[in-house]
A and B are shown apart, each in its own frame.
Chain A
Amino acid sequence: MKRIILTASIFLTAAVAFGYYLFNKPHGSIIDETPIFSSKAVGLVDEYEADENSANTKYLGKVIEVEGTVSDKSMDEKGVLNITLKGGDLAGIGCQFDKNFQTDAMGFKNGDQVKIKGICTGILMDVVLVDCVISDNSN
């Protein structure tokens, strides 16, 4: 009987601790995640402009990798790096970096060919990726 209570209380403690851990888990990084899809920036923009709904079904909320040419670079007031990759005539891909992993990307210059992965959140004027990191070339 004692053993059952002991076991039960250990499990209960573990469950509560796990719940507490989940509840407080910080907004994580995608650095170790494998993108579900890899594309040229131009191709992704084309796909979004052709059919936004079907593109959203495929990519919304998912980690994707894009390769393209840097057309704009800026830093916002919170110190977060934003890089725009060239897409079509108007739309591009706006990549908002993960502040903890942006140091290497700060050296990017307009015209550079780069590979970035991030979480796809849809399209406004640009296709927007958030929590971006430089994509490992070995992927």
Chain B
Amino acid sequence: MKKVLILIALIISAANTQAQTKFFTKAGKITFDATTPSSPDKIFGSNDKATSVIDASSGAMEFALLMKAFSFDKALMQEHFNENYVESDKYPKAVFKGNITNMKDVDLKKDGTYTVKVKGNLTMHGVTKEVNADGKLTVKGGAIVNGVSKFNVLLSDFNVAIPSLVKDKVASEAKITVDINYDPLKAS
């Protein structure tokens, strides 16, 4: 009886590690930085509630975030970000859908950090633009556990207008960082 149980347990655990190709999170971290040397303050917001899914078998990945979940140190900056710049009442989400183009270089059987290239479409403020970024995927124990990336977005590409009065105080190109810890997606 015991042997049978152990066998069943082994089969189940083997099946689990075999079938696991999708990884996701509901707590991804994405930051936004539009500080310039002449900004009176750091124009920096962070969002810790981004969702993301990677399908390791195809390399497809996406992430999404809610604009209002960006948090700034200063209340007024957060208000301006939402009301004047990204108009989050009208456009509450930002979504990226794309592919890891060199997924074949990532070996899930070998722990390590892999450099990846990501290509896809970013939709924000009602505009969709192609974005290319370099990133790093960390593999541990047969699973993707972390993904990081840094890229810049030109705010004018997304119709985010910077009033001429503060033109030199808000960067025209925002630095975006993505830092996501992944969990295996349970097929329940």
Point out residues on A near B: beta carbons under 8 Å.
22-28, 56, 60-61, 74, 76, 78, 80, 82, 84, 94, 96, 119-126, 128, 130-131
Whether B74 lies near A96 (C-beta < 8 A) is no
Task: Give the top 6 A-B pairs by smallest Cβ distance, nearest first.
Answer: A121-B68, A121-B66, A121-B69, A122-B92, A122-B66, A124-B51
Additional 6 contacts, C-beta under 8 A, given A56-B92, A130-B71, A131-B71? A23-B74, A26-B74, A61-B82, A61-B89, A121-B49, A130-B49
| A128–B76 CB distance below 8 A | no
Max count, chain A CB within 10 A of own CB: residue among B26, B27, B48, B74: B26
* CB-based contact A121/B76 at 8 Å: no
Q: Is the CB of B26 within 8 A of A126?
A: yes
Cβ 8 A contact of A128, one of B69, B71, B73, B89: B69
Instruction: For B66, give its contact among A25, A78, A80, A124 (CB under 8 Å).
Output: A124
B166 at interface by CB-CB < 8 Å: no
Return chain A residues, CB-CB under 8 Å to B65. 124
Contact with A along B61-75 (1 / 0, CB 8 A): 000111111011111
Q: Is the CB of B68 within 8 A of A122?
A: yes
Q: How far is the CB of B43 from chain A (nearest CB, A)?
A: 13
Which residue of the partner chain B has the closest CB to A53?
Answer: B92
- Select one of B26, B73, B88, B92 contacting A94, CB under 8 A: B26
Chain B residues with Cβ below 8 Å from A128 are 49, 66, 69
Q: Which of A25, A76, A119, A122 contacts B27 (CB 8 A)?
A: A76
Q: Which residues of B contact A61 (CB under 8 A)?
A: 68, 82, 88-89
What's the least CB distance linking A135 to chain B, in Å? 19
A24 contacts which chain B residues (CB < 8 A)?
74
How far does the alpha carbon of A126 sit from the alpha carbon of B66 in the complex, in Å? Answer: 11
Fill in one digit per residue for B112-148: 1 if any A CB lies within 8 Å of its CB, else 0: 0000000000000000000000000000000000000
- The listed residue with most A CB atoms (<10 A of its CB), out of B29, B49, B76, is B49
Is A27 touching B72 in the complex (CB atoms < 8 A)? yes
- Residue in B64, B68, B74 whose beta carbon sits within 8 Å of that of A130 in the complex: B68
Q: Decide: A60 and B89 in contact? CB cutoff 8 A.
A: yes
Q: In the complex, what's the smallest C-beta–C-beta distance from A121 to chain B, in angstroms?
A: 4
Contact A27 B66 (CB under 8 A): no
Partner of B64, one of A23, A27, A124: A124
Q: Is B78 an interface residue (CB 8 A)?
A: yes
In the complex the two chains form, is A23's CB within 8 Å of B26's CB?
no
Q: Could you list 28 examples of A-B contacts with CB < 8 Å?
A: A22-B76, A23-B74, A23-B76, A25-B74, A26-B73, A26-B74, A26-B75, A27-B72, A27-B74, A28-B75, A60-B68, A60-B88, A60-B89, A82-B27, A94-B49, A120-B68, A121-B49, A121-B66, A121-B67, A121-B69, A121-B92, A122-B93, A124-B26, A124-B49, A124-B64, A124-B65, A126-B26, A130-B71
- A76 and B68 in contact, given A25-B74, A26-B73, A60-B92 (Cβ under 8 angstroms): no
> By the criterion CB–CB under 8 Å, are B73 and A27 in contact?
yes
Please indicate the chain B residues that have their CB under 8 angstroms from the CB of A28 in the complex: 75
